[in-house]
Amino acid sequence: MSIRLQKFIAQAGISSRRKAETLIMQGRIAVNGVTVTRLGTTVDPDSDKISFDGQDVICSQPHVTYILHKPAGLICSASAKQGRTIFSLFPSTSELRLFSVGRLDKYSEGLLLVTNSGKLAHELAHPRYRHTKTYDVTVRGKVSKDQLHHLQAPMIIEGYQTLGAQVQIIQQQAHPATTKLRIILQEGRSRQIRHMCAQQNLAIQKLKRIKIGQLSLGHLKPGAYRILKKEELLLTQKNDSLPATPSNVCVHPTAAKVSTLHRPYDLADLRVRPKSHGRHPNAHAKSVTLPGRVERSGGRDQGK
C-alpha cells in the first residue's frame, strides 16, 4: 500500500512533512536508487528502498494490527466521499497509515482487521490462507429446509462459482417472524451472503461477522477496537479451510444457483416477483426486483 513520500520521511523521524517537501525538491531523497524531486510521489514502505543523502531510511514506526468491531453505517474506503469511514474511529492525530484487511459493506457490522502494514494487509487477504469467515445473519420469516439446503450449495455470483457454505439455524422467533442463521464461508466474495439470501427470497435484517478463522470478535462493542496480540496474529497465517462435504464441493456451473446482483443495496427494500412458468430456457429462474432496477437470476437484466 502506497503513501506519500513526505509522509514516509516524517514517519521515519527525519523531518516534519513540510520540511520533507523541501528535502525532496532539493534532490536529497532517492527511491530505489533514483533521485526524486517531484512532490506527490508515492512509495510502498514495505517494498521500496528510500534513502536520504545516500543513507538508507528505515521507518522506525512499528507495525500494528487492530481488531475492530465495525458498526453498521460506516464504509471501509479510505475516502469519505461516499460516507463516514471506519478510519474516523481512530485518533486523527495518529501518524499511522491504516488499511483494512478485506471489507464489510456499509450495512454490515462485526469483526474487521485494520493494520498499518500494507504488505500484511495484502497477505492476510490473500486466498492462499483460505480463512473461514463466520457470520450471524438475521432474516425475515421462517427459513425452510429447502431454503437451508440451497443456501449451503455452491452458486454462480457475477460469473464466478463459489464454494458451498456451512449454514445452520440457531434461533427462530414467531412474533415478529425472524430466523437467525450461522453462516460459515470459505471465501469472501463481494456481498456473497446478500446474494445467497436474495436467491432464496430472504430479506436480511442484520448481518454481523463474528469470526475470521480462529479470531473471534469477543465482547468488543460497535466502534471499539484493540491491538491484536502477537499470538493472535500468528493464527491469521494458518490455513483453516473447511473439509470437503457434499454441500461445499464445487459442482458444474449449470447445476449451481446463479446470482446477478450488480450494486450495493439494502435487502430490506427487496421485493420478490413470482416465478415465471413460460417456455423460455430461463423460466425456472427466480426474479427479484431491486430499487431502480429489475433483474433475473439466470437471465438478462430487464430494465435499468
Exposure of 83 in the CB half-sphere (CA atoms within 13 A) = 10
Instruction: Please tell me the total number of residues recorded for the chain in this structure.
Output: 304
Q: Verify whether residue 301 is a known catalytic residue.
A: no
Catalytic residue from among 48, 53, 105, 266: 105
C-alpha distances (whole Å) from 31 to each of 5, 27, 133 are 9, 11, 39
Rounded to 5 degrees, φ, ψ at 59 are -70, 120
SS3 of residue 199 by DSSP: helix
CA 53 to chain centre: 41
What CA–CA distance (Å, rounded) separates 118 from 146?
43
Q: Residue 37: which residues within 8 A CB-CB, separation 6 or more?
A: 24, 25, 26, 27
Catalytic residues: 105
